[in-house]
A and B are shown apart, each in its own frame.
Chain A
């Protein structure tokens, strides 16, 4: 019995954490966030040396074939450092989708490139959670028409994987005729999402498995967004505690006042159990697929709620400084805001969890 990260996983976390501490200080994050494309070449190549870009690519395609718990451990570190690199879409969902439903040609061409960090495929499945602004992509058996919002890891993508309204995934080349790409600007400038407009675009349909692949992608995405928010939340708590231990008012450090101390304690008390929930959800993705969707929902919705509280409370502990751009605390605040909304805000995800358990009359 061993609940938690293995020694190997902890070593991986340490390696990433050290690399990010060296290559991804706040100044660098700020520089990337203020640029036209947020992704940092330095951080990408440094993390590439650890091998994380191919962690979810199967071994026969030059990847490491690692588990979702490994990926969650990485996502947590990236969230902790608000690292401006593509990950959830391009390095987890894309290889998962290709491995599960891609043709041999697609796999052979793209998976090794993803593993090397040489190719980036953005993934658009937002409409399988909720249709907003009448978005949605129709597939008539040959061509794709319609709009897909919130493609993850969008800017500089070489290609796209997009879900149609029937829940089937399609591969679309970045330069496909009839494809229009529009970047969306979000609160979180360490990530990139965008909109895909299709008019009679010829793609390559992945295997029609009745929505099974999309379901897996949604579960994986939710677990990893939860893991990212876990890391960002951890960083915000540590920053609040540090700040409260240094800032003096009324002749005392403010961390010695119960009002401030209790804010920190409440953050920690709500945050700490999230760690076990995220780990379990990641483990269930591989070990107990029957419950994977439900626990992924729980991890996503619960960390969404807890870390909204953490983001806001940590900012308040920092007082006026927390509100400034100067301190940069807002990068974590916004990262958490992104993690909460993408692939279903808590209410949407909970409605899905209820339906999964047969608690909803009209599914």
Chain B
């Protein structure tokens, strides 16, 4: 057990701290949920890329900083930005999902055209994966793209397309080979959201806000070359970057920050002459959550340490999504309980606490438990990959996936 990063990294950490001290005031106020970054956010993003604090390992010729991958340096950057409460650059689906996909499987022209403006926040993307009939079973998607006069002609519907209203572009999974087996008939297309035939309808959730959209496609024409990978390889293309560190370290201290906010709430929230923290039952629940947050924090350190050794992470990593989302939800639940009757205030009411943030979190975090692979899918993964339990009896995986892997890695070599 050695928790020091080493002198070389201490120097790097000092460098990051210096940067934050000198330039921190130029950061935009919070990252916000705004899909379209403000001019200040774009300037901040460019400054961060210039210093290598975001887009760190993306090659210079595509607008990144071009550093060798170094997990500890990435971690230090995330830690220091989190500690300083300063936004660590843009984190949208274009940057976290499309850019790594293009780097791995895009053509040279695609990389040149899309990566830099995406990194700079000039182009905003949305993701067209889920459909009303294809959620956990994503490969059952039905949105079709038939070829007609040198174009794909797209018809169908996507759901959970966050930022579709503001997005310039979409990366979208469509069925181009209706006769091929399920996973082998999908293609990965990229096209403009201004293309005629696209309609975006806000999807209001239980929180009362429209954090998502439904997106409808009626005879949307997309040129044949706006495909990433080959026809029928879309399933592989979409999954290619999932196994990688996607630079999506996020905020390593997010759960701890939520817990600290809960501690402050319980010390501040008055009950009679005392405060919520004086209630032994609430306090017991708080300490139980604190212990669990500690376990997840150290589990994160273990994953980090494993990845330094080139270890994929194993069970420690497989459990993170399931456990963290549930824990975040439980933290919000306790906050609401600690507020007692005040806990129901919402919609900007008189006496509402913290702009209704705890209620919003409580509801939105339930969405996070469901989204991005439901808790039930996570449990399947933990059981089947982690514990090597027998798989559900299901249809055989088509050989097309294997073929796609071979072709795509060949293509990757060509591009490099």
Known: A2-B2, A3-B298, A3-B304. A347 touches B284 (CB 8 A): yes
B287's contact among A237, A277, A283, A350, by CB below 8 Å, is which? A350
Known: A2-B305, A272-B319. A265 touches B383 (CB 8 A): yes
Write the chain B residue with the least CB distance to A295: B294
Is B295 in contact with A268, judged by CB distance below 8 angstroms? no
Write the chain A residue with the least CB distance to B300: A276
Question: Which stretch in A14-22, A189-197, A297-305 binds the other chain?
Answer: A297-305
B354 on interface, CB distance cutoff 8 Å: no
A136 on interface, CB distance cutoff 8 Å: no
A44 on interface, CB distance cutoff 8 Å: no
Set of chain B residues within 8 Å of A346, measured between Cβ atoms: 288
Complex interface bits, A1-31 against B, C-beta within 8 A gives 1, otherwise 0: 1111110000000000000000000000000
How many residues on chain B are close to A (CB under 8 Å)?
52
Complex interface bits, B1-32 against A, C-beta within 8 A gives 1, otherwise 0: 11111100100000000000000000000000
Set of chain B residues within 8 Å of A361, measured between Cβ atoms: 274, 278
How many residues on chain A are close to B (CB under 8 Å)?
50
Write the chain B residue with the least CB distance to A237: B387
Set of chain B residues within 8 Å of A350, measured between Cβ atoms: 283-284, 287-288, 291
A279 on interface, CB distance cutoff 8 Å: yes
B219 on interface, CB distance cutoff 8 Å: no
Known: A264-B383, A265-B383, A269-B322. A258 touches B291 (CB 8 A): no
Is A354 in contact with B287, judged by CB distance below 8 angstroms? yes
Interface residues of B in 355-377 (CB under 8 A from A): 376
Write the chain A residue with the least CB distance to B391: A256
Query: Closest approach, in angstroms, between the C-beta of B277 and any C-beta of chain A?
Result: 5
Is A273 in contact with B308, judged by CB distance below 8 angstroms? no
Query: Closest approach, in angstroms, between the C-beta of B148 and any C-beta of chain A?
Result: 42
Bound-state CA distance A1–B9 (Å) is 10
Is B288 in contact with A273, judged by CB distance below 8 angstroms? no
Is B301 in contact with A3, judged by CB distance below 8 angstroms? yes
B401 on interface, CB distance cutoff 8 Å: no
A155 on interface, CB distance cutoff 8 Å: no
Set of chain B residues within 8 Å of A279, measured between Cβ atoms: 1, 298, 302
Query: Closest approach, in angstroms, between the C-beta of B265 and any C-beta of chain A?
Result: 13
A1's contact among B3, B284, B295, B323, by CB below 8 Å, is which? B3
Known: A2-B1, A269-B323. A276 touches B298 (CB 8 A): yes
Is B389 in contact with A264, judged by CB distance below 8 angstroms? yes
B299's contact among A5, A262, A276, by CB below 8 Å, is which? A276
B296 on interface, CB distance cutoff 8 Å: yes
Bound-state CA distance A254–B274 (Å) is 53
A323 on interface, CB distance cutoff 8 Å: no
A353 on interface, CB distance cutoff 8 Å: yes
Write the chain B residue with the least CB distance to A305: B288
Among B1, B4, B322, chain A packs the most CB atoms within 10 A around the CB of B1
A3's contact among B3, B278, B290, B322, by CB below 8 Å, is which? B3
Is A353 in contact with B290, judged by CB distance below 8 angstroms? yes
A34 on interface, CB distance cutoff 8 Å: no
Query: Closest approach, in angstroms, between the C-beta of A327 and any C-beta of chain B?
Result: 20
Query: Closest approach, in angstroms, between the C-beta of B142 and any C-beta of chain A?
Result: 25
Query: Closest approach, in angstroms, between the C-beta of B299 and any C-beta of chain A?
Result: 4
Is B380 in contact with A277, judged by CB distance below 8 angstroms? no
Is B1 in contact with A3, judged by CB distance below 8 angstroms? yes
A113 on interface, CB distance cutoff 8 Å: no
B68 on interface, CB distance cutoff 8 Å: no
B386 on interface, CB distance cutoff 8 Å: yes
Bound-state CA distance A346–B284 (Å) is 9
Query: Closest approach, in angstroms, between the C-beta of B6 and any C-beta of chain A?
Result: 7
Interface residues of B in 240-290 (CB under 8 A from A): 263, 274, 277-278, 280, 283-284, 286-288, 290
Set of chain B residues within 8 Å of A273, measured between Cβ atoms: 292, 295-296, 298-299, 316, 319, 323
A167 on interface, CB distance cutoff 8 Å: no
Among B294, B304, B388, chain A packs the most CB atoms within 10 A around the CB of B294
B379 on interface, CB distance cutoff 8 Å: yes
B334 on interface, CB distance cutoff 8 Å: no
B390 on interface, CB distance cutoff 8 Å: yes
B174 on interface, CB distance cutoff 8 Å: no
Is B379 in contact with A269, judged by CB distance below 8 angstroms? yes
Write the chain B residue with the least CB distance to A353: B287
A245 on interface, CB distance cutoff 8 Å: yes
Set of chain A residues within 8 Å of B384, measured between Cβ atoms: 261
Known: A3-B305, A273-B296, A301-B291. A268 touches B319 (CB 8 A): yes
Among A2, A253, A297, chain B packs the most CB atoms within 10 A around the CB of A2
Query: Closest approach, in angstroms, between the C-beta of B12 and any C-beta of chain A?
Result: 13
Set of chain A residues within 8 Å of B299, measured between Cβ atoms: 272-273, 275-277
Is B390 in contact with A262, judged by CB distance below 8 angstroms? no
Write the chain B residue with the least CB distance to A2: B2
List the 9 closest A-B pairs by CB distance, nearest first: A276-B298, A3-B305, A265-B379, A298-B291, A273-B295, A273-B299, A302-B291, A265-B382, A350-B287
- The 7 sampled A-B contact pairs (Cβ below 8 Å) are A1-B72, A241-B389, A256-B391, A264-B387, A268-B383, A280-B294, A354-B283
Chain A residues engaging chain B, CB cutoff 8 angstroms? 1-6, 69, 237, 241, 244-245, 252-253, 255-256, 258, 261-262, 264-266, 268-270, 272-277, 279-280, 283, 287, 295, 297-299, 301-302, 305, 346-347, 350-351, 353-354, 359-361
Q: A3-B304, A262-B383, A277-B291 are in contact. List 13 more A-B contacts (CB 8 A).
A: A237-B387, A245-B389, A256-B390, A256-B391, A265-B380, A268-B383, A273-B319, A274-B295, A275-B302, A276-B302, A280-B301, A298-B291, A301-B287
